[in-house]
Amino acid sequence: MGSSQSRDVAQQQVAAPMMTSTDSNDGSRNEEVRRRAGGNKTNDKSSQLTGFDLIQYQCRKKKRKYDRCYTSWYGSTFTVAQLDKDAREGCDDLFEAYQNCILMSMKKDRDRRGVGKANEDSAIGTFEADLEYENDEE
């Protein structure tokens, strides 16, 4: 074997271990098989998030609904100086649902971490007090 041939073989041997399953054509198929089998759920974004990022992710659908409603109201009435409060009030329920999602998720996160009571003047403190009041009435 000539020196150029031996050099080519050596380069192939060095490069071969560096290939991964994603370099091959069936890499995506292997990932799909793993995902279906329940292994490595790397596509589950919520498992990769923590803290407020996770809370935002969990409430994202409610936020999108509210954002669409508010944007529609803002673009169709507010910007043309037709302050139609009734149209905006249609968004209030969506905002309240989004706000409750955020606050309930924050409360659950605080409970999970064993954090004490929130300051009564804070949004989460007021929310927790309202929940306690509602539970006392039942």
> Quick one: pLDDT at residue 35?
53
Q: Looking at residue 117, what DSSP letter applies?
A: P
Least Cα distance to 40 among 19, 21, 17, 18 occurs for: 21
pTM, two decimals, is 0.59
Name the one residue in this structure whose structure tokens are 């009030």: 89
Q: In 37-84, which residue ranges form alpha helices assigned H by DSSP? A: 51-58, 60-73
Query: In this predicted structure, what is the pLDDT of residue 95?
Result: 95
pLDDT tens-digit readout, 9-56: 444 444 433 333 344 444 454 555 445 555 444 457 778 998 899 999
Please tell me the predicted confidence (pLDDT) of residue 136.
79
Alpha-carbon torsion angle 24, 27, 29, 30, nearest 10: 120
Rounded to whole angstroms, the Cα distance separating 43 from 32 reads: 11
